[in-house]
């Protein structure tokens, strides 16, 4: 009797840490690096040529390296990636050199792009070939843009014809498309076989591909005919043919579809995996929830950075790199702030006669900005989810303006009361009320128009949106408030 696969002892795998444990491991790594540097500094203070001190330094250095290597060997590749992303470049390279070669490929796939580049630079050609040689075609396609061309060519030599074709196909799709994130590992069966045959086929596999919740039913030309959920396979009679229990109504993706659209479909229909079909209806790959989660996370990070006018960068990047990333929008923000100050300076006479206006106009500008930011956040999210169309756009604009008007009227009553308390002037209170409502409407209008216009021209709707919003609400807020004050108070 042969030993069943279930009775065999599974190979040892690194334990998975939760986020708090990963942060604890990071703190431990940083502490060991600090102690190692402390010993090195103490030794260097000794007289030059002191062989005993150098020997002590070497022994302590090896001990710390051994402790760090033991710590890293017990971590999941995702947690090693987290540690590498959280260290300055010099320390990052020192830790990367201690990572076990068997984890190199997984860590390279887990780390952010801006860290991956520095890690690949630190590896020699032989190590890179060894790390990427056992990757699947879709994984290798993810790394290919960051790998030296000669390494990619060397790895391709070790691939089968099918794997090489899959790699070239995956590399040929746009970066933000379904084809760029799909994988090629999946289970296919014919519709004219029984479920018993399918079960026997599955038992012969070493393991099922990750996130397999359904089997794809194809014909002899690999055209997708339907899907067979594993749950239905397990509860149906073994003598039943696949065609009798498969689902012919299923959601399929095209490789040129946007990965954001695929993420929306997964969220809407609670999918675990989805087939990818070409224009001829042939099954060429699948997308899993793991791929979609990565897309959602990256989109969320990009959106948060874009709103501040930033691009993704290494938090420990050189100052020159950080300046190139941050300076353009900061300089633009400086120009917008100067414009707002110029607008205020044109009402110097009004402010000099009614000094209290100088204290109140910042409230008008601030509330308008906050109101516009709420509207802008809703619009950007709706654009990302594909919920805004030409038919509902005007209805959405009217709704946002009406909601802002209602909120503005309520808030302006409080602001007017505050203005009356500190100024003892009903006229100032009324001007404050009117200016706040008007500027909130300005903020709402900009919050709708800026993302919509940028999206209309194929630009990131979140890029620099907060800077443009601040410019509008500050400049027009000052103009409206001080303009009303000039007309009605002087």
Per-residue pLDDT, averaged over 233-253, amounts to: 94
Class of domain 319-489 (CATH, top level): mainly alpha
Distance CA 486, CA 490 (A): 6
pLDDT tens, position by position, 47-95: 555 556 566 667 777 887 888 888 898 888 989 999 998 888 888 999 9
The DSSP letter of residue 258 is: B
Contact by Cβ (8 Å): 236, 245: yes
* Three-point CA angle 228, 230, 231, nearest 5°: 110
Helix (H/G/I), strand (E/B), else coil: 386:
coil
Distance CA 156, CA 167 (A): 9
Distance CA 232, CA 268 (A): 22
Mean pLDDT, all residues of the chain = 84
Helix (H/G/I), strand (E/B), else coil: 224:
strand
Query: What distance, in Å, lies between the first and last C-alpha atoms of the chain?
Result: 102
Question: What is the reported pLDDT for 214?
Answer: 96
pLDDT tens, position by position, 328-375: 767 877 788 788 888 888 888 888 888 888 888 888 988 888 888 888
Q: Place 11 in a pLDDT band, splitting at 50, 70 and 90.
A: very low
Look at the block and give the residue holding tokens 């009227």.
409
Fold classification of 14-176 is: MgtE N-terminal fold (1.25.60)
Contact by Cβ (8 Å): 224, 275: yes
Look at the block and give the residue holding tokens 């689902």.
247
Question: What is the reported pLDDT for 195?
Answer: 95
Distance CA 368, CA 178 (A): 40
Question: What is the reported pLDDT for 193?
Answer: 94
Distance CA 79, CA 21 (A): 9
pLDDT tens, position by position, 407-444: 999 989 999 999 999 888 999 999 999 999 999 999 99
Token pair recorded at residue 462: 């979140």
On the question of pLDDT at 15 being above 50, the answer is no
On the question of pLDDT at 315 being above 50, the answer is yes
**Can you give the residue ranges of every domain in the chain?**
14-176, 188-307, 319-489
Token pair recorded at residue 330: 């900061």
Strand partners, 224: 218
Per-residue pLDDT, averaged over 250-264, amounts to: 92
Contact by Cβ (8 Å): 216, 187: yes
Contact by Cβ (8 Å): 195, 233: yes
On the question of pLDDT at 5 being above 60, the answer is no
Q: Place 294 in a pLDDT band, splitting at 50, 70 and 90.
A: confident
Report the range of poorest mean pLDDT among 16-30, 37-51, 84-98, 468-482: 37-51
Report the range of poorest mean pLDDT among 95-104, 170-179, 214-223, 457-466: 457-466
Contact by Cβ (8 Å): 404, 440: yes
Question: What is the reported pLDDT for 45?
Answer: 65
Distance CA 345, CA 360 (A): 15
Question: What is the reported pLDDT for 255?
Answer: 95
Distance CA 409, CA 436 (A): 9
Report the range of poorest mean pLDDT among 40-54, 253-267, 281-295, 438-452: 40-54
pLDDT tens, position by position, 206-218: 889 999 999 999 9
Question: What is the reported pLDDT for 25?
Answer: 86
Q: Which CATH superfamily is domain 188-307 in?
A: CBS-domain (3.10.580.10)
Closest CA to 363 of 406, 323, 422, 314: 422
Question: What is the reported pLDDT for 393?
Answer: 80
pLDDT tens, position by position, 153-193: 888 888 888 888 888 888 889 888 999 999 999 999 999 99
């Amino acid at each position: 009797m042969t030993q069943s696969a279930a009775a065999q002892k599974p190979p040892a795998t690194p334990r998975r840490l939760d986020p708090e444990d990963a942060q604890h491991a990071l703190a431990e790594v940083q502490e060991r690096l600090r102690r190692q540097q402390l010993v090195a500094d103490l030794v260097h203070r000794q007289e030059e040529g002191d062989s005993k001190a150098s020997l002590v330094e070497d022994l302590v250095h090896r001990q710390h390296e051994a402790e760090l290597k033991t710590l890293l060997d017990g971590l999941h590749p995702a947690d090693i990636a987290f540690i590498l992303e959280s260290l300055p470049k010099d320390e990052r390279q020192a830790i990367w050199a201690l990572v076990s070669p068997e984890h190199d490929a997984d860590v390279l796939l887990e780390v952010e792009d801006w860290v991956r580049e520095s890690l690949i630079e630190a590896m020699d050609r032989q190590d890179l070939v060894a790390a990427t040689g056992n990757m699947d075609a879709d994984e290798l396609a993810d790394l290919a843009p960051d790998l030296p061309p000669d390494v990619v060519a060397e790895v391709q030599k070790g691939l089968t014809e099918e794997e090489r074709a899959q790699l070239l196909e995956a590399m040929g799709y746009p970066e933000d498309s379904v084809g760029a994130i799909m994988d090629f590992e999946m289970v296919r069966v014919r519709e004219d076989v029984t479920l018993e045959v399918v079960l026997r086929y599955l038992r012969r596999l070493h393991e099922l591909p990750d996130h397999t919740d359904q089997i794809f039913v194809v014909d002899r030309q690999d055209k997708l005919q339907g899907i067979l959920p594993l749950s239905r396979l397990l509860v149906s009679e073994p003598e039943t043919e696949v065609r009798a229990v498969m689902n012919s109504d299923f959601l399929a993706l095209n490789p040129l579809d946007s990965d954001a659209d695929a993420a929306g479909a997964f969220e809407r229909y609670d999918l675990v995996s989805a087939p990818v079909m070409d224009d001829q209806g042939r099954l060429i790959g699948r997308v899993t929830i793991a791929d979609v989660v990565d897309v959602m996370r990256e989109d969320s990070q990009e959106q948060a950075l874009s709103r501040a006018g930033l691009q993704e960068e290494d938090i420990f990047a050189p100052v020159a790199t950080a300046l190139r990333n941050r300076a353009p929008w900061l300089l633009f923000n400086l120009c917008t702030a100067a414009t707002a100050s110029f607008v205020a300076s044109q009402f110097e006479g009004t402010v000099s006669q009614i000094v209290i206006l100088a204290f109140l106009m910042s409230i008008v500008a601030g509330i308008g900005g906050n109101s516009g930011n709420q509207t802008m956040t809703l619009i950007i999210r709706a654009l990302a989810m594909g919920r805004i169309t030409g038919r509902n756009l005007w209805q959405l604009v009217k709704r946002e303006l009406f909601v802002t008007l209602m909120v503005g009227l309520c808030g302006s009553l409080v602001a007017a009361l505050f203005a009356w308390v500190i100024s003892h002037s009903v006229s100032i209170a009324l001007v404050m009320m009117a200016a706040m409502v008007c500027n909130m409407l300005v903020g709402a209008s900009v919050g709708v128009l800026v993302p919509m216009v940028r999206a209309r021209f194929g630009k990131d709707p979140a890029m620099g949106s907060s800077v443009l919003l601040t410019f509008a609400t500050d400049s027009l807020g000052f103009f409206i408030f001080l303009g009303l004050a000039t007309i009605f108070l002087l």
